[in-house]
Amino acid sequence: MRLEPGYPGEDLEAKLPAFVDKYLFGGTYGEYADDENYWHLQLQHIRDIHLGSDLNGEFEPNGNLSYIRIFWVVAFLVLVVACINFMNLTTASSSIRAREIGVRKTNGATKGRIKQQFFAEAIIVSILALILAMGLVESLMGSYQNFTGREIEIHYLDNFLVIPGLLGMAILVGLLSGSYPAMYMSTFSAIDSLGFKGVRQSKSWFRNILVLFQFSVAIFLIAATLIVQKQMHLIMEESLGFNKEQVILIRQAHYLENVETFKEELRSYPEVIQATSSFSVPGDKLINWGYGVEGQDQGFSINVNMIDDTYLETMELEVLKGKTFSKDYGTESGKVILNETAVKVFGIEQDPIGHICYLWNDRSMPMEVIGVVKDYHWESKQMEIRPHALMHLTVQDWVEPLYIGVRFSGSDTKKIISLLQERWEEQIQEIPFEYEFLDAHYEGIYQNEKQTQTLLFIFAIIAIFISCLGLFGLASFMAERRTKEIGIRKTNGATTANILRLLSLDFTKWVLLANVIAWPLTWFAMSKWLESFAYRVEMPLWIYAVAGILAFVIAMATVSFHAVRASRQNPGISLRYE
């Protein structure tokens, strides 16, 4: 509906219950809502659909604003980790630049000038990184489009705010990452700097806190990735109540002149186990009707699909009570098969067979319950299983099969598809043959979750890589600073293991402490994410342990390189270092 400009939508929404009472229900809207039924009428702005809507029966999978926010946060954390690296490496290498600072101060440079120099260097590095990033974005755009399935172009000049915004961000990052090195190095005295005497090393506790933050982020991302992977396995691989493997879906079945003949011809192929036709398939939206049971005073919202006689066999749905549709029983237009949830909602779980159901608003379309199937996940596991009714395709004249599902054997899918296409084109030439696999069709409802899994993995790798680069540089400078000490220890009989323990001890305790910070944060954040799923995994301790151990091993491997190299150096050379 297009409303008059300025008309408050709330006023119209307040009138909807009366509209429902007048046109839709035998009872009142209030009575229907009090029975905890599933739907009601409300207004939704069209601009809120893509990122703000998460309703049953969407026309296609929506975007998710929560995931966008998650990736904003993760990208920000990775950027902070990179800034920390810059701070750490710049301050750790202070002794190398001490003479330069001393000369500049001797020639009259003030603290302010020294600070300006370091800020300028950081900003230049940040701007160069921005240019490199823009090039990477352009070069990876094709891969990103394939990953998201969307065509995206970045027009830097179409909006006059884009370039200034990017430059502003680069300058801000440069100022933040250059702040501590500028403040610290500007305090060097000219005499001490030129004489290499008493030049203060940057406060180790501050560097350690930065290392702590880096590895807290890395451990958080590793653990989060493992939890997402575990949840994705639950929703995509564990029992769905039907078998989505080895099934090809043929679209636009209603264009066929005789669907039954087409299916019989398909069954003649030895590769075809069974063929079925239906109005909808798992992962699709369903018709939603208000239905009630004879003898009861309330109706319920129920999802409806229309199927043929072989649907349950093809999809491998389990019949718990009664029977399925069959040509042997005569007309099936007045029969219905319910799932377990529908039987419970109707309150007939003790003896469901033989009960009569009908459309609630006008008591039309009486349907006899002839069977009960085990619950199956038609929709995403983000939602609980809802009441489902399976009716025969002959239930109404307007009902036509939109899909043909073909369960096949063997691994030669190209041959199967070729056979199906050949048979289709013999029946109808003007409509192109369109197919897809049921597993891919169903998994499409988890597009956002699969992308989240992939991107979290990529972010985790990037965060670990950046953290290791920083740790690698810090370990190098630490080994260089302690060259004389290492030489003395070697002269006194220290082994490579002793030197390794000496250099890695400080890093070890901070990496271990990072687990204490990362674990509760991971538990809190991932608990919030899992709340969006009706069916969700537990978060066992081994996930946190694996994340911590992996980060520890990577950190120790990084530090060990310099520790081993320092331990193998000739003590005589080490003792001449200063």
Q: What span, in angstroms and rounded, lies between the C-alpha atoms of 173 and 78? A: 12
Q: What single string gives the DSSP state of each residue in 203-236?
A: PHHHHHHHHHHHHHHHHHHHHHHHHHHHHHHHHH
Q: Nearest Cα to 152, choosing from 141, 162, 163?
A: 141
pLDDT of residue 27: 56
In this model, does residue 323 exceed pLDDT 50? yes
End-to-end CA distance of the chain: 82
- 249 and 441 Cβ atoms separated by less than 8 Å: yes
pLDDT of residue 371: 93
Q: What span, in angstroms and rounded, lies between the C-alpha atoms of 172 and 85? A: 16
Tally of CB atoms within 10 A around 69: 10
The more confidently predicted of residues 51 and 221 is: 221
pLDDT of residue 217: 86
Residue-wise pLDDT for 505-550, tens only, equals: 777 888 889 999 999 999 999 998 888 888 888 999 999 999 999 8
Burial annotation 140-176 (CB, 10 A radius, 16+ → b, else e): eeeeeeeeeeeeeeeeeeeeeeeeeebeeebbebbeb
The torsion defined by the Cα of 220, 225, 227 and 229, in degrees rounded to 10, comes to 180
In this model, does residue 58 exceed pLDDT 80? no
Distance of CA 556 to the CA centre of its chain: 30
Burial annotation 198-232 (CB, 10 A radius, 16+ → b, else e): ebeebeeeebbebbbbbbbbbbbbbbbbbbbebbb
Q: What single string gives the DSSP state of each residue in 497-533?
A: HHHHHHHHHHHHHHHHHHHHHHHHHHHHHHHHHHTT-
In this model, does residue 353 exceed pLDDT 90? yes
pLDDT of residue 24: 63
Tell the burial category of 335 from Cβ atoms under 10 Å away from its Cβ (0-12, 13-18, 19+): buried
Q: What span, in angstroms and rounded, lies between the C-alpha atoms of 448 and 444? A: 9
pLDDT of residue 408: 94
Would you place residue 117 in the very low, low, confident or very high pLDDT band (cuts 50, 70, 90)? confident
CA angle, residues 29, 33, 36, in degrees to nearest 5: 155
Averaged pLDDT for residues 12-20: 80
CA torsion sign for 72, 76, 78, 79 is positive
pLDDT of residue 39: 54
Pairing of strands 367-373, 299-307: unpaired
- 316 and 241 Cβ atoms separated by less than 8 Å: no
Tell the burial category of 373 from Cβ atoms under 10 Å away from its Cβ (0-12, 13-18, 19+): buried
CA torsion sign for 482, 483, 485, 489 is positive
Query: For residue 438, what are the contacts with CB-CB under 8 A and spacing of at least 6?
Result: 244, 245, 247, 248, 249, 281, 282, 405
Most confident of 150-164, 262-276, 323-337, 352-366: 262-276
Element at 437 (helix H, strand E):
strand 435-437
Q: What span, in angstroms and rounded, lies between the C-alpha atoms of 396 and 359? A: 13
**Two tokens at 278?**
């239906």
Averaged pLDDT for residues 213-227: 88
The more confidently predicted of residues 20 and 521 is: 521
- 364 and 358 Cβ atoms separated by less than 8 Å: yes
pLDDT of residue 199: 47
In this model, does residue 577 exceed pLDDT 60? no
Averaged pLDDT for residues 442-468: 81
Distance of CA 66 to the CA centre of its chain: 10
Distances from the Cα of 135 to the Cα of 125, 168, 170, 455, angstroms: 15, 18, 15, 20
Would you place residue 112 in the very low, low, confident or very high pLDDT band (cuts 50, 70, 90)? confident
Residue-wise pLDDT for 398-412, tens only, equals: 788 999 999 999 888
Q: What rounded mean pLDDT belongs to the chain?
A: 82
Would you place residue 38 in the very low, low, confident or very high pLDDT band (cuts 50, 70, 90)? very low
pLDDT of residue 268: 92
Distances from the Cα of 197 to the Cα of 98, 111, 516, 535, angstroms: 10, 19, 39, 65
Lowest mean pLDDT among 36-40, 63-67, 271-275: 36-40
Which amino acid is present at 129? A
Averaged pLDDT for residues 256-278: 92
Place of tokens 């025969």: 392
